[in-house]
Amino acid sequence: MAPIYLAIIGLGGVGKAFLSQLAALQLGSITKPTVIFASRSSKQLYNKDYTSIDASTLDSSSSPLLSLSDLTSWLASAPGKVILVDNTSNQDVADSYPSFLENGISVVTPNKKAFSSNLKLWDDIFSSTTPSALIYHESSVGAGLPVISTLKDLTATGDQITKIQGVFSGTMSFLFNTFSPVSGSGSGKWSEIVSQAKDAGFTEPDPRDDLNGMDVARKCTILARLAGLKVEGPDSFPVQSLIPKALESASSASEFMQKLPEHDQEMESYKEDAAKQGKVVRFVASVDVQNNKVSVGLEMVEKDSPIAGLKGSDNIFVFHTKRYSSSPLVVQGSGAGGEVTAMGVSADLIKAVERLS
């Protein structure tokens, strides 16, 4: 049987965790794929004759740079099937997926951008797949949690998704579980909690990249499309930004953090309103398939709902379907981090290798 080749783009946090999982991957009687290409930022490592490389030596040795289109041609000519693992969040690489697939190169990736940008890219990607040019992207939503695979299984076996709801961001989960807990009244002002989360590394370096809701909107876009909705993009439905209007023009993260306390009262009164109704505040993503409505934003939720009961920085995905109508199918757990994101990628790689072998 012809060997299966692996090309790996991106060796940051997720990429490094992926490499270590790859070394220990359990493929049963199937031959492990041969790594022939690795890249990070502006470094690449490969042998023109497709012989195996040691991706971990990329930092110390490198090869002449190939453009994405050169890379595509070179991989397309490999003497065996090729799987490209894209561990970046790069839009240019994502934009190349249709071309990779058309050239018979399978793609395995956690890169959200490929599936949450304009609908044309989505259509181009999925119309370019064939039984030998596959695409797998479990970790594009909820990292290693079985979210994409579960949704695909539900729809492919004929279930009807009525609604998908949940908390799709570990950062938002942490912020609101702390700010508006089910028991007690919370242990700080909104701005203090954001500041603590930033210091602990629970937010992006610039917390506005979490607070604008776009990360959640991208995940909603992916789930909505998989559930059958024609969503144009993450900016084509209502997304509530938690960046106060007056701070939209802040020139830096530090200016933003400095001025955020001036707006604590808005969040505080929303929380108090919720408390009066016996509810808590959560940043909820909602894909209402039945009514073709997608939305992301603050909601007051019942204290005994699974969404309210989240702990730490856990994500939760609640699938309401025709089959799971009396009670929903729920998947919950850590939805971010190098190890669990790489796990989704590695598990997808196994599935791709099994199908291509």
Could you say which of 56, 99, 149, 196 contacts its own copies (CB under 8 A)?
Answer: 149
Residue 190: CB partners within 8 Å, gap ≥ 6?
179, 260, 263, 264, 267, 268
CB 330, min distance to its own copies, A: 4
Stretch that binds its own copies, among 60-68, 257-265, 283-291, 323-331 (CB under 8 A): 323-331
Question: What span, in angstroms and rounded, lies between the C-alpha atoms of 207 and 132?
Answer: 41
Residue type, 7: A
CB 349, min distance to its own copies, A: 9
From the list 113, 219, 271, 279, the catalytic residue is 219
Q: Is 219 a catalytic residue?
A: yes
Which is nearer to its own copies, 209 or 354 (by Cβ)?
354
Please tell me what DSSP assigns to residue 248. Answer: T
229 binds its own copies (CB under 8 A): no
Stretch that binds its own copies, among 23-31, 103-111, 239-247, 248-256 (CB under 8 A): 23-31
Question: What span, in angstroms and rounded, lies between the C-alpha atoms of 217 and 242?
Answer: 13
CB 148, min distance to its own copies, A: 11
Which is nearer to its own copies, 108 or 257 (by Cβ)?
108
Residue type, 70: D
Query: 88: annotated binding-site residue?
Result: yes
Residue 329, burial from CB neighbour count under 10 angstroms (0-12, 13-18, 19+): middle
Query: 245: annotated binding-site residue?
Result: no
* Element at 106 (helix H, strand E): strand 105-108
Which is nearer to its own copies, 253 or 350 (by Cβ)?
350
Question: What span, in angstroms and rounded, lies between the C-alpha atoms of 320 and 161?
Answer: 6
Handedness of CA 227, 229, 234, 239 (dihedral sign): negative
- Positions touching its own copies (CB under 8 A) are 20-21, 24-30, 129-131, 144-146, 149-150, 153-159, 182-183, 304, 306, 309, 311-312, 314, 319, 323-324, 326-334, 339-340, 342-343, 346-347, 350-351, 354-355, 357
Q: Which residues are catalytic?
A: 219
